[in-house]
Chain A
C-alpha cells in the first residue's frame, strides 16, 4: 500500500483517507483497500444510528464513546508503531494497571502533588518500555516472549503494590483530565430552537480545526502539484475536504451542545496529530517502516535498527502510562485487575485499522479508526441491549473480516501483476 503522507489522515474524527491517484488500472482496488476501513466505519455508525433511532449520535453518547475508549485509543497509537516495526506488545494491559497503581500510591498514599506524580508515573512507564525494549532489541528475544513475560511480571508488580484492593480517590484535577470537560470560558451561544445552546469556545476550536484541515490540505496539494506529482482531481479533493469538515463540525457541535470538549479528546487530538506527523514525515517514523518492511535492508542502509526498536518500546511504555493514568482517573481508583485484556483491544484496533502481521504497514489514523469501530460496536450494541457475549461475537467477526479483506485485496493486487 502506498504510505505517502496525506494530511487528510490527520483530520481528527476520522475523515476519509486521501488515496493517491496512481493513474493505473488498479486505482480502484488500491483506493478500496486504503479507504475500506473508513467506509466500514461510516457504515457501522450508520447501522447503529438507524438501530438506535439516532441515539448513537446524540450529544451525550458521542461524548461517552470518546471518553470510554480513550485509553484503548492511546494504547492503539503505541501499538501500531510496535506492529509496523514487526513486533507485538502483549504486556500493555498489565503496564496500564501497574502505572495506574504507582500513580495512585504516589498521590493518595504519599499526598504527592499530582503533576509531579504523573511525571514520575510516565517516567516509570518509559523505564518499563526500556526494560522490554532492551530484551527485544539488544538481547534478541522475540517481542512475543518478552512481553508475554511482561504481562505476568507487571501484573504481579501491580498486586505487590496494591495488595488485593483498589486505591483511591484521585485528586480532582486528574479526574477532570480523565473524565471531565473543558471549561466554557467564553460562555454559551444559542444555535436556534432545534439545537439549543452550545459552548462557544468548543465551536471556535471546531471552526479553527476545520480551517486548519482545509489550509494544510490545500497547501500540501499545491506543494505536490508544484513538484509535478499526480494529485487527485479537484472535485474529489473538495468533496473529501467537505466530508472531513462536516464530520469534524458535527462531532464538535454535538459535544458543544452537551458539556464542551472532553479533556481526553483534546489529549487524543494532540497525540493523533503528533504521531501521524511522526510516522509520515519524521526520519524516525520512516525508519520504523524501513525496519518492519525489511530488517536486513534497513540495517545495510545505515538505520540503527536496534535503537529504533528500543525507542518504539519506550514509547509504548510511556503511552501505556498515560493510558494507565486516564483509566485509573476515570474509575477514580487504581485496581489490581485493571487494564485486563486491553492489549487485545489495542492489537485488534491496529489490525482492523490495516496493519500487517509481517510489519512494515499501518497508519496511526487507521489504528484510531479500528479502535473507534470496536468502540462504536460496544456502545451501539449495549444501547440496543445486546448481551456481552454477542458483543464479543461481533467484535471477533469484525476483526477476522477486516484482516480477511486486507489479505484478499492484497492477493488481488498481486494477481494482477
Chain B
C-alpha cells in the first residue's frame, strides 16, 4: 500500500488572466481509491487534464512521476500508453456503434487490416463480464441507460490495460442503484490492483468508497487525509475554507392561501407507448411556501413539472390544474407563463440559456413583451432590467453584455433565475437549481429562493439532495415511480423517512 504510483509535484497551470493551478501536489498510492474534492473552479478537472495529457507537457509547470518514471505526455495517447485512462463526466461513446465496437474504438482487433469480429466480440464479452455488464456485445450503445454506458467506458479502459483510472463525476447522472453498482465495481477493481482517482461532489459517496481524500481549493492543494474518521462537514470546511455552521440561510416562512393545485395528474411516455411516467399525482402549493419534490432519478419529477409547464413534455396528459381557485388550461409554454407559472430547468446549458448571447438578452427572453411597445424592444429598458438583476442577485460578470456561456455554473443559474423572476410568476418550479454549483454559490441560490417565497411566490423545489430539501422546504412531497407516496411537513421530515417513501412501491407491478 505504501508504494506510490503517481506523484505530481508543483503543478502550475495558467490560462490567460487566470491561475487555474498553483503549485499543486498530489500523491496517489498503488491500489487505492483516491478522491479529489473541491468546489467548482477549484482546479480538479484541470489537474486531471494535466495528468491525462489533454494539456501537453510544456503547457504547465511542474513534474509528473508515474510508476517511478518521469512523464512528459504530448497527448492523451501517451498517457493511455502508460496506463492512465480518464473517463469524463460527459461520456465519449459513439452511440450508434455496438458495445464491442466502442470498447475497442481506436484499438480495433484486426488481422491483416481487417477487423476480426469474433475476437472483438469475444474479448468485449470478457471485459463486460469483469464490469458486470450483462448485455450482448453487439447491442448498440444508444439502447443502454446511462449507468450501463458508464460501464462500457470502464470496460474500454480495462481493454487498454489501465493502471490508473480517473473518473470525473462518475455518478452525477446515475440513479442510486447504478451508483451503488459502480462504487462496488470500483472496489472490485481496486482489489485487482487498479488504482482509482475519483472526482465527486457527492461527499457521502466519497466517504463510502475512498481510502484517501485530497482537497483542492482555489487551485491549491489544501490537504490529503485518510478517509477514515473524516466527515462531510470536515471536507466541506476544507473545500470552502470556513466552517459551514449554516449551510442553509435561516428562514421564517409566511404562508398564505393556496395558489396552485394539481389534481390527478397523469402523463404518458412520448417514446414508450402506454408507459405511465406520472400516475395520478395531486399536490398543492401556497403563497410564500417552499415545497420540495423528492424522488429518485426516473421517479417522474421533471416529467411532472414539465408537463404542467405548458405540456412541454409527455403525451396523454390528463388531470386538472387549479390556480387561485379557478381551473386553468396550460396548453403551451406561453399560456403557462401568462398564468404566472415559471419553470427553471435542471439542465441550464441545454434547456435554460442561449449560451452565445449576453446576460441581458437571456434575462429578457421569456418576457420580451414586457420590454416592447407594439413589437419593438426598448433595449435601454432591457439593460436597466438586466442590470437590476445583476446587482440584486449578485451575478458576477463585468457587465450584462457578458456572454452567458463564459459564466460559471452558479452565475449561469442566477441568469436563469433572473429570466424567470422577470416573468413575474406566482409559482416557480425550480428543477435541481443547485446542480453542478459550488458550495458558496449554492448558499446564494438558497437565499434567493427564500427571498422569492418572502415575496409571496410559491416555490416547488425539485432536488436530488435530501439535505437541501430538508434545509429549505416547508413541506416535502415524495414521488416514487410516478406516484406521490408521501407529504411530509418540515418538522417531521428526516432523510431516512424520505428515502423510505421515495422507494415505496418500487417493486409493485406497473
Contact = CB atoms under 8 A, between A and B. Distances in A.
B387 to A, nearest CB: 7
Interface in B366-390: 366, 368-369, 372, 375-377, 379-380, 383-384, 387
Contacts of B366: 301-302
Contact of B406 (A224, A294, A417): A417
Contacts of A283: 368-369, 372, 375-377
A364 interface: no
B16 A223 contact: no
A5 B377 CA distance: 10
B375 A289 contact: no
Contacts of A25: 17
Q: Is the interface of A mostly helix, strand, loop or mixed?
A: loop
A224 B379 CA distance: 9
A293 B333 contact: no
B349 to A, nearest CB: 9
Contacts of A193: none
Given A4-B401, A302-B333, A417-B406, A297 B380 contact: no
B75 interface: no
B357 A3 contact: yes
**Interface range on chain A: under 10, 10 to 19, 20 to 34, or 35 or more?**
35 or more
A302 B354 contact: no
Interface residues of B, number: 44
B419 interface: yes
Interface string A268-303: 000000000100111110110110011011111111
A1 B355 CA distance: 11
B16 A302 contact: no
B91 interface: no
A293 B379 contact: no
Contacts of B369: 283
A416 B16 contact: yes
Nearest to B362: A297
Given A293-B357, A299-B312, A2 B401 contact: yes
B352 interface: yes
A281 B398 contact: no
A180 to B, nearest CB: 34
B358 interface: yes
Given A283-B375, A297-B365, A228 B358 contact: no
B403 to A, nearest CB: 8
Interface string A3-18: 1110000000000000
A289 B419 contact: no
A303 B399 CA distance: 26
Contact of B357 (A23, A304, A360): A360
Nearest to A294: B354
B354 A224 contact: no
Contacts of A22: 398-399, 401-402
Q: Is the interface of B mostly helix, strand, loop or mixed?
A: mixed
A229 interface: yes
A366 to B, nearest CB: 15
Contacts of A416: 15-17
Interface in A17-49: 20, 22-25
A297 B406 contact: no
B353 interface: yes
Contacts of A299: 312, 333
A202 to B, nearest CB: 31
B355 A223 contact: no
B333 A300 contact: yes
A336 B410 CA distance: 58
B16 A297 contact: no
Contacts of A23: 398-399
Given A3-B357, A300-B343, A360-B354, A24 B383 contact: no
Interface in A374-417: 415-417
A185 interface: no
A286 B16 CA distance: 33
A287 to B, nearest CB: 8
Nearest to B309: A300
A360 B352 CA distance: 15
Nearest to A230: B399
Q: Most A CB atoms within 10 A — which of B357, B369, B377, B380?
A: B357
A361 B356 contact: yes
Interface in A198-251: 223-224, 226-230
B361 A289 contact: yes
A227 B383 contact: yes
Nearest to B423: A302
A365 to B, nearest CB: 17
Q: Most A CB atoms within 10 A — which of B310, B369, B376?
A: B376
Given A283-B368, A284-B375, A302-B337, A293 B380 contact: no
Given A3-B361, A293-B357, A297-B354, A282 B375 contact: yes
Given A289-B354, A294-B355, 14 more contacts: A20-B401, A22-B402, A224-B380, A227-B384, A283-B368, A286-B364, A290-B354, A294-B350, A297-B365, A298-B354, A299-B333, A302-B366, A415-B16, A416-B16
15 contacts: A2-B358, A3-B358, A4-B379, A22-B401, A227-B383, A286-B368, A293-B357, A296-B350, A297-B351, A297-B365, A302-B332, A304-B334, A360-B357, A416-B15, A417-B18
Interface of A: 1-5, 20, 22-25, 223-224, 226-230, 277, 280-284, 286-287, 289-290, 293-294, 296-304, 356, 360-361, 415-417
**6 tightest A-B CB contacts, nearest first:** A293-B354, A301-B366, A416-B16, A302-B333, A302-B334, A294-B354
